Amino acid sequence: MSLVKICGINSPEAFDAAVEAGADYIGFVFFPASPRFVTPVEAAVLSARQVGAKPLRVGLFVNPGFDEVEAVLREISLDVLQVHGSASLVAPLRDRFGRPVWRQLGVTTAEDFPGRDEFADGFLVEAKAPPGATRPGGNAVKADWPLLANFRPVKPWLLAGGLNPGNVAEGLRVTGAPGVDVSSGVEIAPGQKSPALIRAFIAAARG
């Protein structure tokens, strides 16, 4: 069964929908430039709505320093640190905080695939950010799925970028990805998650 991560959770309604629909991961964005940004306290309040082994909580950081991550972890317990930045950040963060670290990969050609000695515990794989983008992620741009059909890293990965309830099943089929990560594809406006779209996305990914 495909793994599903709903990223950019910032409301009780979105959190509850993701939990009830069976998401494996819930992502909180700690990057102020994002319309999905939440403070550590806001994330902690949302996370407290459900106690249990799943979904796992993922914190998204952009080129973070230790102080930034420590400030978040003082308020909320995260299961995974998701990093948008250099591969050199991964090992120090994992050593310091004792948590798995996933790294975002922007992929245009096979040369962008990570080496087999990459330290990350997992990858979020999407298209490179377009020129002039203010955020480092895929910015709702669909990745090159046929290219990613040849992506077989030694670490787990999630397909991201440009996914929605209407195309997620095809994305999984074409790429062979073990799971998917969605944010804007389940929104009705930037940063405004739709519980109905969250439920539809998870159903499509699993169906």
CATH number of the domain bearing residue 8: 3.20.20.70
> What are the angstrom distances between the C-alpha of 121 and each of 31, 187, 197?
21, 28, 29
In this prediction, what percent of the chain has a pLDDT beyond 70? 95
Pairing of strands 187-189, 192-193: antiparallel
Residue 132's pLDDT band, with cuts at 50, 70 and 90, is low
pLDDT in tens, 56-92: 999 999 999 999 999 999 999 999 999 999 999 999 9
pTM, rounded to two decimals: 0.94
Q: What 8-state DSSP symbol labels residue 152? A: -
pLDDT in tens, 26-44: 999 999 999 999 999 999 9
Domain count for the chain, please give it: 1
For residue 56, give the nearest of 103, 19, 11, 12 by alpha carbon: 19
Say if residue 136's pLDDT is above 80. Answer: no
Long-range CB pairs of 65-71 (<8 Å, 24+ gap) are 66/92, 66/93, 66/96, 68/30, 69/93, 69/96, 69/97, 71/40
Range of the domain at 61: 3-206
Task: Round the average pLDDT of the chain to a whole number and report it.
Answer: 93
Question: What token pair was written down for 157?
Answer: 């990965």
Say if residue 127's pLDDT is above 80. Answer: yes
CA distance 24 to 202: 10
What are the helix (H) ranges across the chain? 12-21, 40-47, 66-73, 90-97, 145-148, 168-175, 195-206
The answer to whether residues 107 and 143 touch, using CB atoms and an 8 Å cutoff, is yes
Q: Give me the pLDDT at residue 128, please.
A: 84
Task: Residue 154: count other Cβ atoms within 10 Å of its Cβ.
Answer: 9
Q: What 8-state DSSP symbol labels residue 184? A: G
